[in-house]
């Protein structure tokens, strides 16, 4: 019987990465406490931390730039059926995933984000069929959609829409069934001694563990639990939900759209096919007008930004985008929601030690599709103290703090420079 006052591992944060880490630790026989708040019912009076996963749909596909992250997603996806069966939670549905991007082929300075050849080779390496669509193919395949001139596509017909709230529920259900202790609280202090870590929560509870895994997402530096900040940048992202009365009348795939108009990048993000939200209504979700426009430094910045509900101007930009993309389609009311996102200078996830007993996991932009595998790797690394994967550990190390130049603004620079 496990001593309830001391655990093998404490996982801080119960979002996709923390929940997955906790369940893999439990699967591997460790005693685990996972501490993190549940989703708040509203955001307009918000205090405290927020998350990147409070939504109904995330893409799980192979059309992403870093091959490493796509491989992590592919490994995760292979276990989804098993996780659903174990937890009784269905968290995916099939979709076509279409990435539309400017045709920059042949350019010597072609940005990697627009490099169709690279994305196709990634998919090929992973054994996933992806079709390359030129401008005419795009028109033929989606006659009712209008993309900006000079744009081309990549189509994966067997992709998934993943509900990140339900993914977290599935992971936590499996973790608890495997013996993990789940506590709904926020950690305010993390102290490390020569043989343990102790953590204290907002409500005054405390726990001791041999090791800690910090999975606090984009808020990781802001919550101040580490002695030194790690190189990453945190943003408040805006999600726009546009109501559609009848989802069957909106014939569109789930999309990533990198639009360049008149040589200038003016949208780079997701246009998600209609999904049903907890209010019972159906919405097309758009996020990408201002994904990286609101850097946030500390928890009061985060809470203040969350209370705004997101950038109101994104609504007009979204309506203009949808009007151009789907002329003739009727849309209803639109509103914004706040979301957190972060990026690392390496452009890759972090899975590294901040100190002897504390491991940090971060994946800001693809952390729904890749969470389960990052959690598995974090669990193995924490329990064995060794890196045993075929991917080199170097890939997941923190960037040199002097190299804290974010990568994703490259998308914007690339867009602007096209």
Ligand X SMILES: Cc1cc2nc3c(=O)[nH]c(=O)nc-3n(C[C@H](O)[C@H](O)[C@H](O)COP(=O)(O)OP(=O)(O)OC[C@H]3O[C@@H](n4cnc5c(N)ncnc54)[C@H](O)[C@@H]3O)c2cc1C
- The contact set with ligand X (CB under 6 A) reads 12-18, 35-37, 49, 51-53, 58-59, 164, 186-187, 215-219, 223, 237, 239, 270, 287, 339-341, 363-369
Closest CA to 308 of 284, 335, 326: 335
Q: Report, in Å, the least distance between residue 51 CB and ligand X.
A: 3
CB of 211 to ligand X, least distance (A): 16
Q: Facing residues of 345 across strands?
A: none
Minimal distance in Å, beta carbon 87 to ligand X?
17
Q: Which is nearer to ligand X, 38 or 124 (CB)?
A: 38
Q: Please tell me the distance from the alpha carbon of residue 102 to that of residue 265, in angstroms, as a whole number.
A: 9
- Cβ–Cβ under 8 Å, residues 148 and 262: no
Structure tokens belonging to residue 331: 């849309």
- Kindly tell me which of 110 and 187 has the beta carbon lying closer to ligand X: 187
Question: Cα(381)–Cα(361) distance, rounded to whole angstroms?
Answer: 11
Q: How far apart are CA 416 and CA 237, in angstroms?
A: 20
| Joined tokens for residue 193 | 């001694």
Identify which of 66, 87, 60 has the alpha carbon closest to the alpha carbon of residue 272.
Answer: 60
Nearer to ligand X (CB atom), residue 40 or residue 135: 40
Q: Please say which residue, 153 or 367, places its beta carbon nearer to ligand X.
A: 367
Q: What is the DSSP letter of 295?
A: B
For the bound state, the minimum distance from the C-beta of residue 114 to ligand X, rounded and expressed in Å, comes to 18
The distance from CA 179 to its chain's CA centroid, rounded to whole angstroms, is 27
Widest pairwise Cα distance in the chain = 67
Instruction: Fill in the DSSP letter of residue 369.
Output: T
- Least CB distance to ligand X at residue 141 (A): 21
Nearest partner of 257 among 166, 151, 130, judged by Cα: 151
Query: Nearest distance from residue 328's CB to ligand X, in Å?
Result: 27
Q: CB of residue 285 vs ligand X: minimum separation in angstroms?
A: 8
Nearer to ligand X, 312 or 417 (CB): 312
Judged by beta carbon, residue 15 or residue 110, the one nearer ligand X is 15
Min dist. Cβ of residue 287 to ligand X (A):
4
Between CA 283 and CA 242 the distance in angstroms is: 5
For ligand X, give the closer residue by CB, 110 or 222: 222
The CA–CA distances, whole Å, from 262 to 27, 145, 148, 417 equal: 53, 19, 10, 11
Query: Which residue, 223 or 358, is less far from ligand X as judged by CB?
Result: 223
Residue 342, both tokens? 């972060």
């Amino acid at each position: 019987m496990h001593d309830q006052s001391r655990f093998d591992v404490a996982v801080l944060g119960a979002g996709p990465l923390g929940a997955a880490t906790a369940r893999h630790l439990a699967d591997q026989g460790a005693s685990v406490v996972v501490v993190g708040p549940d989703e708040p019912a509203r955001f307009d009076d918000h205090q405290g931390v927020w998350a990147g996963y409070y939504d109904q749909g995330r893409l799980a596909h192979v059309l992403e730039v870093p091959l490493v992250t796509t491989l992590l997603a592919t490994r995760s996806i292979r276990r989804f059926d098993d996780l659903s069966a174990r937890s009784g939670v269905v968290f995916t549905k099939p979709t076509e995933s279409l990435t539309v991007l400017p045709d920059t082929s042949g350019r010597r300075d072609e940005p990697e984000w627009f490099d169709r050849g690279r994305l196709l080779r990634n998919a090929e390496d992973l054994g996933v069929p992806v079709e390359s669509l030129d401008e005419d193919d795009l028109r033929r395949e989606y006659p009712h959609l209008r993309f900006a001139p000079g744009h081309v596509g990549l189509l994966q017909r067997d992709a998934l829409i993943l509900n990140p709230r339900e993914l977290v529920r599935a992971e936590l259900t499996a973790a608890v069934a495997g013996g993990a202790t789940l506590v709904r609280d926020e950690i305010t202090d993390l102290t490390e001694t020569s043989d343990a870590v102790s953590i204290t929560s907002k409500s005054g509870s405390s726990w001791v563990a041999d090791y800690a895994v910090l999975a606090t997402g984009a808020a990781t530096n802001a919550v101040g639990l580490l002695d030194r900040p790690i190189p990453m940048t945190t943003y408040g992202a805006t999600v726009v939900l546009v109501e559609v009365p009848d989802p069957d009348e909106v014939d569109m795939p789930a999309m990533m759209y990198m639009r360049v108009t008149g040589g200038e990048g003016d949208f780079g993000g997701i246009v998600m096919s209609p999904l049903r939200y907890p209010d019972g209504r159906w919405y097309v979700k758009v996020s990408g007008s201002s994904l990286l426009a609101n850097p946030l430094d500390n928890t009061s910045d985060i809470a203040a930004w969350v209370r705004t509900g997101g950038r109101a101007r994104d609504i007009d930009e979204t309506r203009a985008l949808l009007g151009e993309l789907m002329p003739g389609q009727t849309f209803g009311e639109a509103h914004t929601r706040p979301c957190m996102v972060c990026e690392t200078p390496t452009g890759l996830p972090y899975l590294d030690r901040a100190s002897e007993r504390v491991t940090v996991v971060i994946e800001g932009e693809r952390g729904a599709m890749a969470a389960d595998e990052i959690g598995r790797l974090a669990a193995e690394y924490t329990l064995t103290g060794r890196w045993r994967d075929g991917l080199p550990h170097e890939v997941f190390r923190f960037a040199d703090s002097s190299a804290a130049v974010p990568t994703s603004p490259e998308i914007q620079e690339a867009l602007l420079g096209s």
